[in-house]
Amino acid sequence: MALVNENFLKLPGNYLFSDIAKKVNAFKVIHPEAKLIRLGIGDVTRPLAPAVTQALHAAVEEMGNEETFRGYGPEQGYRFLIDAIIKNDYEPLGVKLDPDEVFVSDGAKSDTGNIGDILRRDNRVAVTDPVYPVYVDTNVMGGRAGELGEDGCWNNIVYIPCNAENNFIPQLPEKRVDMIYLCYPNNPTGTVLTKKELKKWVDYALENEVLILFDAAYEAFIQEDDVPHSIYEIKGAKQCAIEFRSFSKTAGFTGLRCGFTVVPKELIGRTADGQKVAINPIWNRRQTTKFNGTAYIIQKAAEAIYSPQGKIQVRETINFYMENAKIIREGLAETGLQLFGGVNAPYVWLKTPNDISSWKFFDRLLYECHVVGTPGVGFGPSGEGYFRLTAFGNRMNTQEAVERIKNWKI
Ligand SMILES: *Cc1c(COP(=O)(O)O)cnc(C)c1O
């Protein structure tokens, strides 16, 4: 008899986006004529940069040619891409990395989820709340979360609330933890940590031997100087942090699939009997066994975003989204709604007025403005009373949604 991993049975269904879809469908039946505007999705909408599609075409031709055909590549990624990453993403920050510290992957979702493979089940996990659900759910699957309580929290996970009261700056946990997920710029709140604030976390992690799992998927959206693009800009971070990056939001690769993870060779963990072990070779072993590399043509496409043309084109798209974010922020500022994020990230996080619930706000926005967003409570208990709007829409819809909300009697 095959016994299943019962941790999977503990997981409640992920109903957030299906609940949203049901509510939107019900609305459409009642109001078939209404022009709905969707500012809820966390997916990009602009097409790939021409430099990327050219690289894709060229790589496809190579694969169809006997002389240039390639089969299995290195599980860690091709050197042409790893070298481009180090040269363009890290050297300008003053961060030196060896090629074998960078692992190309099929995206940050897989890696932030898979990292649990190499970490013992009895580590205590901390997350900021609200949170990207992958961190929590994969720890439930791995048996680290305990049981789900009435309050929506898993009893073995330490939740660090991020809300308007603390200005979305997570406090260091009072309880001892072994690993913590930090996502900055943050999804869903769109907020960031300054260098000084992130240093506080690195210092704490070094002092207490905590592993920081740093998700920098939105790094390319940072506009302000004092916001770190990589955790390795902070001294000592190579000894306590793994960094996850993705080309998904940076360059519209949500459908192509490519990202990378940095596991510094200085990063040390411990065995249960207290011996120090390097984490890099363990992750390498995991990847070479369970992962067979990102497709060659996709890695060639990713390399193209670092070409002179690619850089300009990718920047134009990011600027386009950030202009949307500005339109939302500045437009809604007049409404008196309390707004957060949207400056260094493509998400605007708002406090619902008069303490109405996230879902009540969702329903009213849908029925009274015909605008779809995402209820904050869907990202964790501390998201209750908040709401997320994304900057990934087209310009006209974004402007119109803002106009409708401005004219709305909330
Ligand atoms: C979109 C997103 C990612 C990227 O996931 P991919 O698998 O690379 O597409 C990672 N982390 C967060 C927080 C995200 O929102």
Per-residue pLDDT of the chain (410 residues; tens, 9 = 90+): 999 999 999 998 877 888 999 999 999 999 999 999 999 988 999 999 999 999 999 999 999 999 999 999 999 999 999 999 999 999 999 999 999 999 999 999 999 999 999 999 999 999 999 999 999 999 999 999 999 999 999 999 999 999 999 999 999 999 999 999 999 999 999 999 999 999 999 999 999 999 999 999 999 999 999 999 999 999 999 999 999 999 999 999 999 999 999 999 999 999 999 999 999 999 999 999 999 999 999 999 999 999 999 999 999 999 999 999 999 999 999 999 999 999 999 999 999 999 999 999 999 999 999 999 999 999 999 999 999 999 999 999 999 999 999 999 87
CB atoms within 10 A of CB 260: 25
Q: Specify the fold of 54-308.
A: Aspartate Aminotransferase; domain 2 (3.40.640)
Class of domain 14-46+314-406: alpha beta
Same fold, 14-46+314-406 and 54-308: no
The atom of ligand 1 lying closest to the CA of 249 is 1
Atom of ligand 1 nearest to the CA of 108: 8
42 by Cβ neighbours in 10 Å (0-12 / 13-18 / 19+) ranks as middle
- Separation of CA 53 and ligand 1 centre (Å): 22
**Residue 15 contacts by C-beta under 8 Å, 6 or more apart in sequence?**
none
Say how many Å lie between the CA of residue 213 and the centre of ligand 1. 13
**CA–centroid distance, residue 108 to ligand 1 (Å):** 5
Ligand 1 center from residue 29 Cα (angstroms): 33
Domains of the chain, residue spans: 14-46+314-406, 54-308
Q: What does residue 16 show for φ and ψ, rounded to 5 degrees?
A: -50, -60
Residue 259 Cα: closest atom of ligand 1: 8
In single-letter form, the type of residue at position 372 comes to: V
**Distance (Å, rounded) from C-alpha 220 to C-alpha 253?**
13
Q: Across the strands, what pairs with 375?
A: 387
